[in-house]
Amino acid sequence: MKTPNPIDLLFADMDKLSPGDDSLSLYVLRSLPQHRFEVVVDAGCGAGRQTMVLASELGTPIQAVDSYQPFLNRLKRRAKEKGVAHLVCTHCMDMKDIPNVFPNIDLLWAEGAAFNIGFANALTTWAKAIQPNGFAVLSELCWLRDEIPDTVREFFRSGYPEMQSVPQNIAIAEEAGYKILNTYTLPREAWEEDYYDTLELRAKSLVNHSDAAVRDFAVETLREIETFKISEDSYGYVFYLLQRSAVN
Ligand SMILES: C[S@@+](CC[C@H](N)C(=O)[O-])C[C@H]1O[C@@H](n2cnc3c(N)ncnc32)[C@H](O)[C@@H]1O
């Protein structure tokens, strides 16, 4: 019998694979000082929720990069259904290789994805490929307050030990050669609606699954959601709107 993939089971048919929302993606996109871009890359696009926003709003081809082909297949299906298939080009590849494939990027977008290769490493790696004065927009999990409930701190000690505060990430971005245009913290609803609300129900239905990997993933997901509920807004997802410096 084929071993079930916990990711496929938990995230089946979900558009959102991280906290976010179409209206927020659009708001952030529209707040950039430029609105016409030739080469646009969506790194870690997942099932492409934000790819669809970028394609519809910009009307220009979006290079959608992800290392998981089933997510890209979903994106392709959705783009076809919405009549924007001609604007969505999918690439099954590692986001760390983006500079080799796209050496002249005008806008690099990454929602809830850069952490996979490390926020600082992603910024440094992608800086090589972003045109001088080009843009990078990344959303990243960050500490928002100094007072952090013990359980929350404990969860992230193993869950995401590299997590930084917003000022620390700003310093990292500046060091990597970017100017900070703005930051924007996602509201709680962006976590709850069509994301944790769906995941919580699914995870609960999978905690007694016959496969141990599925059970473990479901339990860990419920722990993550519980941590969020008691977080007292000590952490959140923050958009960083960055512009590549004109001179290296
Ligand atoms: C949390 S999901 C976010 C997806 C999407 N941006 C969203 O917000 O719905 C992170 C995505 O990064 C992809 N990913 C993880 N490591 C990657 C890598 N090294 N290169 C490319 N994609 C990667 C995963 O397959 C997943 O689709």
- List, for residues 59-100, the tens digit of each pLDDT value: 999 999 999 999 999 999 999 999 999 999 999 999 999 999
C-alpha to C-alpha distance for 244 and 66, rounded to whole angstroms: 23
DSSP letter assigned to residue 197: H
What is the Å distance from ligand 1's center to 68 Cα? 8
Closest residue (by CA) to atom 4 of ligand 1? Answer: 46
Closest residue (by CA) to atom 16 of ligand 1? Answer: 116
Q: Is the CB of 126 within 6 Å of ligand 1? A: no
Please answer whether residues 41 and 109 qualify as being in contact, where contact means their C-beta atoms are separated by less than 8 angstroms: yes
174-210 confidence digits (pLDDT tens):
999 999 999 999 999 999 999 999 999 999 999 999 9
Average pLDDT, the chain: 96
Among the atoms of ligand 1, which is closest to the Cα of residue 16? 9
Closest residue (by CA) to atom 2 of ligand 1? Answer: 17
Q: Is the CB of 195 within 6 Å of ligand 1? A: no
Instruction: List strand residue ranges (DSSP E) for 29-177, in order.
Output: 40-43, 62-66, 88-92, 105-111, 130-143, 164-165
pLDDT at residue 248, as a whole number: 55
Q: Are strands 235-244 and 178-185 parallel, antiparallel or unpaired?
A: antiparallel
What is the Å distance from ligand 1's center to 43 Cα? 7
Tokens 């959601």 — which residue?
A: 225
What is the Å distance from ligand 1's center to 66 Cα? 6
Alpha-carbon distances, residue 85 vs 35, 66, 77, 81 (angstroms)? 21, 17, 8, 8
142-177 confidence digits (pLDDT tens):
999 999 999 999 999 999 999 999 999 999 999 999
